[in-house]
Amino acid sequence: MDGVLPRTPMGRPRAAAVGAILLLCLVGAPLMSLFPVGMWNTARALTMSGAGQGVLLLAPVVAGAILLMFWLGFQWLEKSGVHHPVASSALVTATAMATPVVATFLAPAFTPLPGGTTVNIAFLSGAIATLGMGASMLAHRRTGRWQPGLLPAVAVSAGLVAALPAASELVRERAAEERSRTQIMSFEQTIAVLDDPDWSLSQVHEVHHGLRLTYRNGDGAPLHVLTWDDRRSERAGVLAGCEFPGTWCRDLGDAVVVHHGDGHPSELRTRLDDGTVASLVPPPGTATDLMDTARSLRPEEPGERSVLVESVTS
């Protein structure tokens, strides 16, 4: 099997082949990757306008455009003296077609560049194609009967495309951790903490006029601890919404139990030492002993926010 480059160790033929491959990967692949993006936007526009059957008419256009891009790449590589121009052009074209699909539907969070999805799709297509073909050029042997050919390019390109979902998930997890860290550290009120060995902190969310910590017990059942911000605590108070139809509240002195219709309590509200309102909110319809659990509700201790951050990010 021949390599992708001419066997001449130096000179214009070899330089021309290297330049042709790099140009096709760095310029051709990003441009080609814009085609499936445009086709997807066109198909979506047709579907939303009620002309969904018109999407079928795009099939021959897509097939013809892909064949045209492959043929142009083949002609360019063949005239530049690249060995295996058919396979090389097919690999670059396939990479440029597969990368947008994987990046859009399976790896939407992996955006190494600012500028939106289209910019990142073009960048990833060019980078993957260049690294793949670059692997074959680096593996090229100037002497010897057997050459690896395009095997390194296929392996590297396929591996990088397949790794995009995992990279996207890693980016998403890190973004979620950073978001949780920011929400906890920037909250201006005292945070209510559930100090109970049967419940462990798992998630944090910034909600309307408050911060919600989600705890889970050994069975995985959730329980939300909602700390109201200063504005809601002062203006609304623990009896907020009790006058609404279908809602009734039981004032127990140090706590208020809220019912929305018949059945189990929907919420238990209490005040922390600084006047901040905190509430326990179980999932709808679950039989949670809110009064017993509320005894473990306390204000955060100095320096405890770093522990909360570690609990939700570990």
Q: Which domain CATH number covers 220?
A: 3.40.1000
- Spatial neighbors of 177 by CB under 8 A, at least 6 apart, are 312, 313
Q: Assign residue 59 a region: left if phi > 0, alpha if psi is -120 to 50, beta otherwise?
A: alpha
192 and 179 part of one domain: no
pLDDT at 245: 86
Q: Which of 166, 183, 200 is the last residue of a domain?
A: 183
What's residue 273's pLDDT? 77
Q: Which residues contact 11 (CB under 8 A, 6 or more apart)?
A: none
Instruction: Say whether both 179 and 199 belong to one domain.
Output: no
Do 228 and 136 share a structural domain? Answer: no
Whether 210 and 103 share a structural domain: no
Print the domain residue range for 283.
188-313
Ordered alpha helix ranges (H), 51-116: 58-79, 85-105
Per-residue pLDDT tens, the chain, 314 aa: give them. Answer: 566 776 555 545 678 899 999 999 999 999 999 999 999 998 888 888 887 677 788 889 999 999 999 999 999 999 998 989 999 999 999 999 999 999 999 999 999 999 889 999 999 999 999 999 999 988 876 665 667 889 999 999 999 999 999 999 999 999 999 999 999 999 988 899 999 999 999 999 998 888 999 999 988 899 999 998 767 666 667 788 888 888 888 888 888 888 887 667 888 998 887 778 889 998 876 767 888 888 899 999 999 999 999 999 87
Q: Are 169 and 37 within one domain?
A: yes
- Whether residues 149 and 87 share a domain: the answer is yes
Structural domains of the chain, count: 2
Q: What is the pTM of this model?
A: 0.78
- Whether residue 288 sits in one domain with residue 275: yes
Query: Are residues 299 and 256 located together in one domain of the fold?
Result: yes
Pairing of strands 297-299, 200-207: unpaired
Q: What is the pLDDT of residue 143?
A: 61
Q: Are 189 and 276 in contact (CB under 8 A)?
A: yes
pLDDT tens-place string over residues 95-116: 999 999 999 999 999 999 998 8
pLDDT at residue 12, rounded to an integer: 59
pLDDT of residue 211: 93
DSSP string, 124-179: HHHHHHHHHHHHHHHT--SSSS---TTHHHHHHHHHHHHHHHHHHHHHHHHHHHHH
Residue 169: what pLDDT? 96
Q: Is residue 240 included in any domain, yes or no? A: yes
40/151 same-domain check:
yes
8 A C-beta contact, residue 121 and residue 158 = no
Evaluate whether residue 1 is within a structural domain: no
Domain membership of residue 7 (yes or no) is no
Give 170-208 as a DSSP string. Answer: HHHHHHHHHHHHHHHHH--SPPEEE--TT-EEEEEEEET
212 is a domain residue: yes
Q: CB within 8 A of 69, min separation 6: which ones?
A: 28, 32, 35, 93, 96
Report the distance separating Cα 314 and Cα 306, nearest Å: 12
| 136 plus 168 within the same structural domain | yes
Decide which of 148, 183, 218 is a domain's last residue. 183
Final residue in a domain of this structure, among 183, 199, 234:
183
Predicted pLDDT at 141: 66
| Residue 259, helix vs strand vs coil | strand
**Is residue 219 one of the residues assigned to a domain?**
yes
